[in-house]
Structure 1
Amino acid sequence: MTSSDQLLLFNRQTSVHQILGGGLFADVILWRQKNVTLAILILTLVSWVLFERSDYTFLSYVSNVLLLLLLILFLWAKSAQILNRPTPPIPHLQLSEENTNEAAALIRDQINMLLSVSHDIALGKDPKKFAKVSAYLVLISIIGSLTDFRTLCYTTVFLVLTVPVAYERYEKHVDSILLKGNMKLKRLYIRFNEECINKVRKWILDMNKLS
């Protein structure tokens, strides 16, 4: 492994594009399909302005759009029958049993993993996971107190379409900073853990002396 590889976070040797799947999804996030990415950003901004500045809610907006779409298709189909013209080119969509089973298996695995982590945390088997989960919950609580769910969704889309491409451009610099910060956090955790253990040992010794 070269010195440049060691500067990569988690000692990985794959690119950001490969981590994101290497397909169309990764191309959109990393702005390799600029028209699609820009369209998503503009649509997200327009939707946010629409919902924030008008009395529309997401549910009423979706319902009205679907109602308008169904009305257009219905009138199109009826007029096509009367005028002997082609019907609307609507594809016949249907979920296959294989896709359904794969999705169900994926959801099941994720839920089982979540339950397993929760079980370990509840029994005190993994202090590191407990600290991480607690930090995430505190962060979510802070974010939830600062904004509403709708704005959070739009902000998340914006970050997904900007942070990865910025990280890919300045990858080595960011990884170097994060690795240094991670090492400092590990040293602080080890020191904190040792202090807690020493305090517990001292408390046990004091209790034994009193007994």
Structure 2
Amino acid sequence: MDYASADVFLWRNKKISAGVLGVATAIWVLFELLEYHLLTLVCHCLMIVLALSFLWSNAATFINKSPPQIPNICLPEKQVVEVASALSKEINCALSVLHGVASGRDIKTFFFVIAGLWVLSVVGSWCNFVSLVYIAFVLLHTVPVLYEKYEDQVDTFAEKAMHEIKKQYAVFDAKVLSKIPRGPSRDKKHL
């Protein structure tokens, strides 16, 4: 059966959603609490698989069973190129956005990006990358279902919050941003 990711995030099938969250929690415990490392885990798993396959292949002759049929695994070049192409497009888009912010054309976007990066740096100082990914994963599994359940209350609160943010930004713009001197516009032609 094929399940859409939205069904998993919205807990339409509680067994699958709980399983996915359980596996993520087990991975987090393994890497964070037990201080296991990814490369070590991959190597240990490969050693176990190779040892079991080797033993099964050699024991098969003694117990008159056929040896395991190990498939030849090969990555299709077309799909690898497509993934690399999509990834390069996303990276180029992000670099373009950063270039636009750095060029100084839009001060509002500049301040939002700086604030976002500052928040990320503060959160990054609180926990490491594995914990951050786990927290994001848990939020992805809890926030959508809570929003679906309490949609009206959240929307009302969000409207009030957006109105207040816009009001505060207007004050900040009037008192600070409007007083920052700006150079000549690039659209004007100089004689």
TM-score greater than 0.5 by the shorter chain? yes
Tell me what 2:170 maps to.
190
Look up the SS of the partner of 1:88 in the other structure: coil
What pairs up with 1:1-211 in 2 under 5 angstroms?
24-54=4-34, 56-80=36-60, 83-88=63-68, 90-196=70-176, 198-200=178-180
CA–CA distance in 1 between the matches of 2:138 and 2:69?
Answer: 33
Of 117-126 and 64-73, deviating more is: 64-73
Alpha-carbon distance in 2 for matches of 1:35, 1:194: 53
Unmatched segments (≥5 aa) in structure 2: 182-191
RMSD: 2.6
- 1:181 Cα deviation after fit: 1.2
CA distance in 2, matches of 1:118, 1:53: 36
Q: How many angstroms does 1:155 deviate by?
A: 2.0
**TM-score, scaled relative to structure 2:** 0.79
Judging changes above 3 Å, is the alpha-carbon distance between structure 1 residues 119 and 76 closer, same or farther for their aligned structure 2 residues? same
How far does residue 123 in structure 1 lie from its aligned partner after superposition? 0.9
Q: What is the aligned-residue identity percentage?
A: 37
**Equivalent residue letter for 2:92:** N
CA shift in 2, pair 1:136/1:43, >3 Å: same
Instruction: Give me the TM-score of the superposition, normalised by structure 1.
Output: 0.72
**Which amino acid counterpart does residue 84 of structure 2 have in structure 1?**
A
Q: Matched residues in 1 for 2:108 and 2:61: separation?
A: 66
SS in 2 for 1:161: helix
For structure 1, the residue ranges without an aligned partner over 5 or more in a row are 1-22, 202-211
Q: Could you list the per-position Cα deviations for residues 115-144 of structure 1 after superposition, in whole angstroms to 9, with x for gaps in the alignment? A: 111111111112232122112211111111
What is the count of residue pairs matched by the alignment? 180
The amino acid that maps onto 2:50 is L
C-alpha offsets along residues 176-197 of structure 1, whole Å, 9 cap, x if unaligned?
2112212221222223223235
Question: Which moves more between the two structures, 39-48 or 157-166?
Answer: 39-48
